[in-house]
């Protein structure tokens, strides 16, 4: 018996979808930076108050999510840099 072949995405479709994913990731980065500024300001205002620990917990979550998004962007940057270097060698 032969197994059915896996569906593969052609390069043009993959580039189009990855462009849309990159735009969404940049929007998520902008929202994360906004939340980071907002919660850091609130943590500074609530210095010593009972809600300060909650604000710092939220800040750490936002920073972790921001790190994941930035990692995605840097991986894509070096991927395309490699493709450009191959093209001009």
pTM score, two decimals?
0.75
Q: How far is the C-alpha of 21 from the C-alpha of 14, rounded, in Å?
A: 10
- In the structure, what pLDDT confidence band is assigned to residue 14 with cuts at 50, 70 and 90? confident
| pLDDT > 90 fraction of the chain, expressed in percent and rounded | 43
Q: How far is the C-alpha of 76 from the C-alpha of 78, rounded, in Å?
A: 6
- Examine the pLDDT at 15 and tell me if it is beyond 90: no
DSSP secondary structure letters along 9-77 = --HHHHHHHHHHHHHHHHHHHHHHHHHHHHHHHHHHHTTTSTTHHHHHHHHHHHHHHHHHHHHHHHHHH
């Amino acid at each position: 018996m032969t197994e059915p072949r896996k569906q593969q995405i052609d390069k043009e479709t993959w580039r189009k979808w990855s462009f849309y994913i990159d735009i969404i990731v940049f929007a998520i980065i902008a929202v994360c930076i906004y939340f980071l500024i907002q919660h850091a300001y609130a943590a500074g205002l609530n210095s010593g108050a009972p809600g300060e620990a909650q604000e710092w917990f939220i800040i750490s979550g936002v920073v972790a999510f921001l790190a994941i998004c930035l990692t995605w962007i840097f991986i894509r940057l070096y991927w395309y840099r490699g493709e450009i270097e191959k093209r001009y060698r």
